[in-house]
Structure formats: structure tokens, C-alpha cells
């Protein structure tokens, strides 16, 4: 019996698989607008200066690389709880350092299943990995409509309709901001309406926050977190430090469990540790040390805040330049909405065939759902990208 022959084929990952194809492409003018990483004008994924300084300090300190506790370093956890929640009560706020936000989402799925939740509602569209993570945790994945790509508006009535009919024992995931892949978030009124319904229907709320600081500013972007904190006595927050500290490959994320009753925090901690230990044992040490060093130094923290805010501003101006160039190229399609979108992503409204043509004929890589990473555009590649899109649309 050849056991390996039992394996079934699996699809190539729509985002990371694209990076593999990109590296295999030998054309010098190729452009990777696929994976969500912030790049500078020179096309390199940015290393924050504050991160570099923190690394220098850590190198000089010459500390060992011993194992971290299952749920991470205690001081790091205190620092990130302060960063995200300001004043917080440790009896009602639990946090675990996870291997990226991906592990936080996976842990949240395992815990939801253990809580008796059967179904999770995800926005349609969403980050494709949400489906994999939650279905592998034993949950049924359902969707709520998210955005009207024609009218460029949130599909609020339909969102409310679907969630109103969600069965008991369901959870609802909302992205905090800079929606991946749409680039558009609910406004405050829409957030309020959705949140009220989730509370009324007693659905379990989960926030996924991967881009804090890239929308309107670090504090402004946390509006949904403040809203959830005011409306729900229990909810989860899965958080990524990949983008806002530029620590992608260091895999630093966090799983936050809020229980205002304080009754279940210990159980939540034990369950989280159980699932982490059974998956990857404990998180990596270097990324959390970098963040802890930055947050504990007023100088480094100020420099990190400044760098993040510069990136947010540059993204805005890249969006303007991109739309101007698209208009000036004579493309008849209206791309003005890209200027209103926030964060790293916007949808180009291209068919799968057009996306493939863009890649095969021009070496311009975007995700199959036509998501483009604005943060990988630069003055050097803008004309080439716009011209390629123009040719695809003709």
C-alpha cells in the first residue's frame, strides 16, 4: 500500500502562491502588487528605522533565545494591551502572543468550536485564508454580503438581513479597518447598526485587526475596537503586528479575549494555551522583543509612530497619483473610488481572465479577485502598471 497516494491535490494559495510565481518570473520590469506588504519607493519591503534601532539594542544586550511561555512574554503582553486598550483591567482582558494574526485566528476558531459555536459568518469578500482557518477549526463558514462593487457602497441592508437570520451559536467576524481585499470600511453609523444587531441576536463577535494605523491614523482606526468594548461584555480580537511594525516574517500577532464578567478569563487562558501548545508550542521570541523594546522607549515609540504616520500619508498620495494617471491614460472606467478606499488594498474590478493576462502579458501580479496592493506602487512603476491595465481593458 502506497499511503502517500491517498493524498489529494490542494489548490495553490491565491496570495503566497503568487509570490512564488513572481520570483520565478525573469522579466526585469515585473511588478508584484499581490502580497500585502508595505514597500518603499525603491520597491523593497520597508524595515522601520525604529525596528532597526531596537534590533541594534537587542544585539548589544546579547540575550539568550530561550523558549517563551506558551502565551508569550508577560511584559510584551502588558505593553500591547496598553497600546491597544490604554487603561485595561487584567481581570477582564486576556491576551496571548501568537505566531502572527493567522495563529490568533486559528486559536479563535478552536476556542469558538469548544464554546459550542457551529458557524462563523465572514464578509463576502474577505481575506481568503479566513475560510481555511475556520473550516480547519471545525466551523461551518457562511458569508454576509459586504460591498456593492458597482455602486461602491456597503451593502448594509443585506448585511443586516443575513445576520438577522443567522442561527443561534453563530459567530460574526468583522475586519476592523482597511478592509482586505475591498479597501472600504463601514462608516460609524453602519458600524453602529451592525454591532447593535450582533448584540441583539446574541451572535459571538470577533474582530480581525491587521492594518491599524494605515487608514486614518492609529487612534482613529481603533474606533471599532472601542465600539465593541462599549457594546459587548465578551468578544475576541485577533491582531497583526506584521504591517504596522513591518515585522511580517517575524510572525508577531496576538489573540485578545475580553470578558467583562471576569468569570471566564482563566478558562480562556487555559484553552488558548492548550491550542497553542498543540499547534506550535510557543511563539518566536525576536519579534516580540523588538516591539517591547520600542514600546518601552518613549524615543523609539515616537519614531515608530512618525514612521507609521508617514506611510499612511504616502499611501494616500499614491492613491491620488494612481487615480490621476488612470484618468490621464484615457481609460474610460471610473476609478475615482480608489481615492476613497483606505489601507493597502483596492479592487480593480477586473475579471479573472484579465488578471491572468495582466500577469502573463505584462508581469504585473495582482490577486485573482483583482485586489491590488497600492503600497507596492511607486513613481518608478506607476506608468508601466497603468499602461498595462489600459491595454488589458482595451
Q: Which residues are catalytic, by number? A: 127, 208, 243
Per-residue binding letters, 335-374, with ligand LMR (x by CB under 6 A): ----------------------------------------
d(C-alpha 394, C-alpha 392), whole Å: 6
β strands within 149-251, DSSP E: 153-154, 170-175, 204-209, 234-240
Nearer to ligand LMR, 134 or 232 (CB): 134
d(C-alpha 209, C-alpha 387), whole Å: 34
**DSSP 8-state class, residue 168:** S
**Cα separation values, 145 from 87, 289, 295, 333, 383, Å:** 35, 40, 38, 24, 34
**Options 15, 105, 276, 315; binder of ligand LMR; rule CB under 6 A:** 15
**Options 31, 32, 33, 36; binder of ligand LMR; rule CB under 6 A:** 36
**Cα separation values, 52 from 77, 123, 257, Å:** 21, 36, 31
Task: Give the nearest distance from C-beta 15 to ligand LMR in angstroms.
Answer: 4
Residue 238 interacting with ligand LMR (CB under 6 A): no
Task: Give the nearest distance from C-beta 60 to ligand LMR in angstroms.
Answer: 32
Contacts with ligand LMR by CB under 6 A: the residue count is 6
Task: Give the nearest distance from C-beta 368 to ligand LMR in angstroms.
Answer: 12
Q: How far apart are the first and last CA of the chain?
A: 54
Q: Which residues contact 75 (CB under 8 A, 6 or more apart)?
A: 292, 296
Applying the rule CB under 6 A, the residues between 167 and 196 that interact with ligand LMR are 180
Nearer to ligand LMR, 129 or 143 (CB): 129
Q: Which residues contact 302 (CB under 8 A, 6 or more apart)?
A: none
Task: Give the nearest distance from C-beta 129 to ligand LMR in angstroms.
Answer: 6
Shortest-Cβ-distance residue relative to ligand LMR: 36
Per-residue binding letters, 113-132, with ligand LMR (x by CB under 6 A): --------------x-x---
**Cα separation values, 308 from 221, 330, 382, Å:** 13, 34, 22
**Nine-digit cell string for 370:** 483583482
Task: For residue 39, report the phi and psi dihedrals to the nearest 5 degrees.
Answer: -115, 155
**Options 33, 35, 315, 374; binder of ligand LMR; rule CB under 6 A:** 35
Residue 96 interacting with ligand LMR (CB under 6 A): no
The answer to whether residues 384 and 31 touch, using CB atoms and an 8 Å cutoff, is yes
Task: Give the nearest distance from C-beta 18 to ligand LMR in angstroms.
Answer: 9
Nearer to ligand LMR, 36 or 205 (CB): 36
Nearer to ligand LMR, 36 or 284 (CB): 36
Task: Give the nearest distance from C-beta 121 to ligand LMR in angstroms.
Answer: 20
Nearer to ligand LMR, 35 or 237 (CB): 35
Residue 212 interacting with ligand LMR (CB under 6 A): no
- Tally the C-alpha atoms within 13 A of residue 376's C-alpha that lie toward its C-beta: 19
d(C-alpha 364, C-alpha 334), whole Å: 21
Applying the rule CB under 6 A, the residues between 271 and 300 that interact with ligand LMR are none
Residue 223 interacting with ligand LMR (CB under 6 A): no
Q: Give residues in contact with ligand LMR (CB under 6 A).
A: 15, 35-36, 127, 129, 180
Amino acid at each position: 500500500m502506497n499511503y502517500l497516494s491517498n493524498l489529494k491535490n490542494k489548490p495553490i494559495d491565491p496570495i503566497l502562491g503568487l509570490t512564488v510565481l513572481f520570483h520565478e518570473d525573469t522579466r526585469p520590469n515585473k511588478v508584484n502588487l499581490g502580497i500585502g506588504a508595505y514597500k518603499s519607493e525603491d520597491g523593497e519591503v520597508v524595515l522601520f528605522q525604529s525596528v532597526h534601532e531596537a534590533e541594534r539594542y537587542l544585539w548589544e544586550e546579547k540575550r539568550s533565545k530561550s523558549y517563551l511561555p506558551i502565551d508569550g512574554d508577560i511584559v510584551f503582553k502588558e505593553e500591547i494591551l496598553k497600546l491597544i486598550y490604554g487603561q485595561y483591567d487584567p481581570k477582564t482582558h486576556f491576551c496571548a502572543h501568537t505566531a502572527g494574526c493567522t495563529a490568533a485566528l486559528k486559536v479563535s476558531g478552536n476556542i469558538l468550536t469548544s464554546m459550542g459555536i457551529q458557524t462563523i459568518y465572514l464578509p463576502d469578500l474577505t481575506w481568503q485564508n479566513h475560510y481555511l482557518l475556520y473550516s480547519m477549526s471545525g466551523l461551518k463558514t457562511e458569508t454576509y454580503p459586504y460591498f456593492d462593487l458597482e455602486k461602491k457602497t456597503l451593502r448594509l441592508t443585506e448585511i443586516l438581513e443575513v445576520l438577522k437570520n443567522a442561527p443561534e451559536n453563530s459567530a460574526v467576524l468583522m475586519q476592523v479597518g482597511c478592509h482586505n481585499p475591498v479597501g472600504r470600511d463601514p462608516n460609524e453609523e453602519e458600524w453602529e447598526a451592525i454591532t447593535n444587531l450582533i448584540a441583539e441576536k446574541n451572535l459571538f463577535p470577533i474582530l480581525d485587526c491587521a492594518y491599524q494605523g494605515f487608514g486614518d491614523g492609529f487612534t482613529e482606526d481603533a474606533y471599532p475596537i472601542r465600539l465593541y468594548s462599549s457594546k459587548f461584555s465578551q468578544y475576541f480580537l485577533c491582531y497583526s503586528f506584521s504591517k504596522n511594525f513591518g515585522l511580517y516574517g517575524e510572525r508577531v500577532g496576538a489573540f485578545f479575549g475580553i470578558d467583562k464578567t471576569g468569570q471566564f478569563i482563566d478558562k480562556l487562558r487555559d484553552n488558548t494555551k492548550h491550542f497553542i501548545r498543540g499547534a506550535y508550542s510557543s511563539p518566536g521570541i525576536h519579534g516580540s522583543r523588538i516591539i517591547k523594546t520600542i514600546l518601552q522607549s518613549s524615543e523609539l515609540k515616537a519614531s515608530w509612530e512618525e514612521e507609521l504616520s508617514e506611510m499612511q500619508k504616502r499611501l494616500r498620495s499614491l492613491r491620488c497619483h494612481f487615480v490621476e494617471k488612470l484618468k490621464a491614460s484615457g481609460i474610460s472606467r471610473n476609478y475615482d473610488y480608489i481615492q476613497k478606499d483606505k489601507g493597502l488594498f483596492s479592487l480593480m474590478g477586473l475579471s479573472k481572465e484579465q488578471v491572468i493576462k495582466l500577469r502573463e502579458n505584462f508581469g504585473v501580479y495582482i490577486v485573482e479577485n483583482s485586489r491590488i496592493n497600492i503600497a507596492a506602487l511607486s513613481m518608478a512603476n506607476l506608468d508601466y502598471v497603468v499602461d498595462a491595465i489600459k491595454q488589458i481593458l482595451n
